[in-house]
């Protein structure tokens, strides 16, 4: 604890952790749209009519899953959408919540007649999908370009 006196009172600050936490070193500004949780950034691209790409950069865990779920739900209820691509190639961490999230998205997409494509990337996401066997039930692609080529058919 750090304690110091001002003119009228003693101020006590809580101790600072000695070990770094996730997200340390990433710039955090008030202008950042994801200021509440800087561990995940998402963007939506529309590369063609009826096609949406959700690009994610960061970590998928229990704290970020509600935002991802809501964004996917919004895209899947779009009237003109026929293909949704989820690009996870820049995701640096994924928990089992991410697997559940993808399975639910696949189920919703099938109910609405929308093709769902996933770009897991070459790191942790691909490994988790392979270990759990979920990659067999999803339309997984090695790159965003491959997913887009499949979507334009």
Q: What is the per-residue pLDDT across 102-127, written as a single tens digit (0 to 9) for each?
A: 999 999 999 999 999 999 987 889 99
CA proximity to 100, closest of 61, 74, 56: 61
Task: Classify residue 111: in a domain, yes or no.
Answer: yes
Between vectors from CA 41 to CA 82 and to CA 103, what angle results, nearest 5°? 45
Domain membership of residue 123 as a residue range: 39-151
CATH no. for residue 52?
3.30.750.24
DSSP string, 109-139: HHHHT-EEEEE--SSHHHHHHHHHTGGGTSE
d(CA 71, CA 108): 13
Task: Classify residue 6: in a domain, yes or no.
Answer: no
Give the pLDDT of residue 2: 52
Task: Classify residue 28: in a domain, yes or no.
Answer: no
Question: For 48-75, what is the mean pLDDT?
Answer: 92
Task: Classify residue 135: in a domain, yes or no.
Answer: yes
How does the average pLDDT of the chain come out, rounded? 81
Task: Classify residue 33: in a domain, yes or no.
Answer: no
Give the pLDDT of residue 152: 74
Task: Classify residue 90: in a domain, yes or no.
Answer: yes
Who wins on pLDDT, 39 or 90?
A: 90
Give the Cβ contact number of residue 88 at 10 Å: 23
d(CA 105, CA 108): 5
Task: Classify residue 32: in a domain, yes or no.
Answer: no
Give the pLDDT of residue 28: 44
Task: Classify residue 102: in a domain, yes or no.
Answer: yes
- Domains identified in the chain, total number: 1
Give the pLDDT of residue 29: 45
Q: What is the per-residue pLDDT across 12-29, written as a single tens digit (0 to 9) for each?
A: 555 555 544 444 444 444
CB-based burial of residue 77 (10 Å sphere; 0-12 exposed, 13-18 middle, 19+ buried)? exposed
Q: From the centroid of its chain, how far is CA 120?
A: 11
Across 1-153, the runs of DSSP E, i.e. the strands, are 2-5, 10-13, 40-48, 51-60, 83-94, 115-119, 139-140
Give the pLDDT of residue 38: 62
d(CA 122, CA 19): 29
């Amino acid at each position: 604890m750090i304690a110091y006196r001002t003119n009228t009172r003693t101020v006590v600050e809580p101790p600072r952790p000695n070990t770094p936490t996730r997200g340390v070193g990433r710039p955090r500004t008030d202008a950042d749209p994801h200021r509440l949780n800087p561990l995940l950034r998402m963007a939506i691209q529309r590369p063609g009519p009826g096609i949406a790409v959700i690009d994610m950069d960061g970590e998928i865990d229990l704290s970020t899953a509600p935002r991802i779920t809501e964004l996917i739900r919004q895209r899947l209820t779009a009237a003109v959408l026929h293909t949704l691509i989820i690009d996870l190639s820049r995701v640096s961490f994924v928990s089992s919540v991410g697997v559940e999230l993808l399975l639910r998205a696949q189920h919703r997409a099938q109910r609405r007649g929308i093709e769902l494509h996933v770009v897991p990337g070459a790191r942790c996401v691909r490994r988790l999908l392979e270990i759990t066997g979920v990659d067999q039930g999803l339309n997984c692609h090695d790159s965003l370009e491959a997913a887009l080529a499949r979507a334009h058919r």
